[in-house]
Structure 1
């Protein structure tokens, strides 16, 4: 089941962009333009992203009401207000306070921290693009289709080795010897074939991979 985020933001451009970005990352996003109807969604919400400057009820009022009734649901303030007074007021009820502009990867990283802290996401589970990986259960779920991705033993070991070294360029020799526990012979195509089949299963478009990147002449890198 997809994790659901309630985004309360009246700015059309920001709201549209955040919804598109987080949807691509595998979350279900409910976007509303004011806080008046927020309470009716809360029974199915895992996290709230909240602006301060909203029409009618401001973000502080909305956030305090939501936190009062749903204390376990994390709230992230996402706002252009930078003063310490605003930040302290926000953090009196919110779990995090992030200032615009921001890097999207930082936004997702902070969301993951809040979801783990609240128990919505297991510490053995993580989100990578459209994939949800449960290390304890050895399961990989495509959150867009809600289907489990079944890998062979070698494919799974390659995937997990890359996952354990996020954003690091790994040589073919490093990967091969870690997975096969044997000496890598230069020119051996075994790893390349396994990577190709792995991409066919995990990438949205295996001809344009976004998860496992080829570093020409060296090896591979998993983007995280």
Structure 2
């Protein structure tokens, strides 16, 4: 285990670690000794459905940060002849205490919705109706694909007793993507209703945005 000075730990203590660091430390909190490759697989099985789909470079950056804080330790493990040795990581006692405290005491940030199809719908006056429908159909297909993957990963996670709560999270993901799929279908119906109401009349030109500081109607 690396020796970590108090100064280094203070520089990256629990008050300054980003949420992504806690996510990686949370993966280690299940008690396994994991390589960066393992952590990538585990995050793709669970975290990507609701929070983060990290690259390998992001994972290793977070692991360095956690080692500097004294929350994780690493060692090299010899591999078969001709294969490069790999580094594996384990959570430290300090890390377990810190992530438990963070999970119990840190404020829970509300989700921030960054929804590409909704943004495109907001700009629907700039698209042809068929283009808008295609965006929503593609979103339906994406949501259903993610729902099916969440179901499959939840089935696999049930084999591990320690993954009871991640399995519940995958069930949440399944329900979330099912609702996204159904919302897209409902929006297709809304668009059809809007087009029917407009009939063959040409679309009106969009109103100019109000100048800053002046009252105006919101879009």
Give me the TM-score of the superposition, normalised by structure 2.
0.25
Please identify which structure carries the higher helix content.
2
Q: Look at both structures and tell me which one has the larger radius of gyration over its CA atoms.
A: 2
Higher relative contact order (CA 8 A, sep 6+): 2
Higher strand share: 1
**Normalising by structure 1, what TM-score?**
0.25
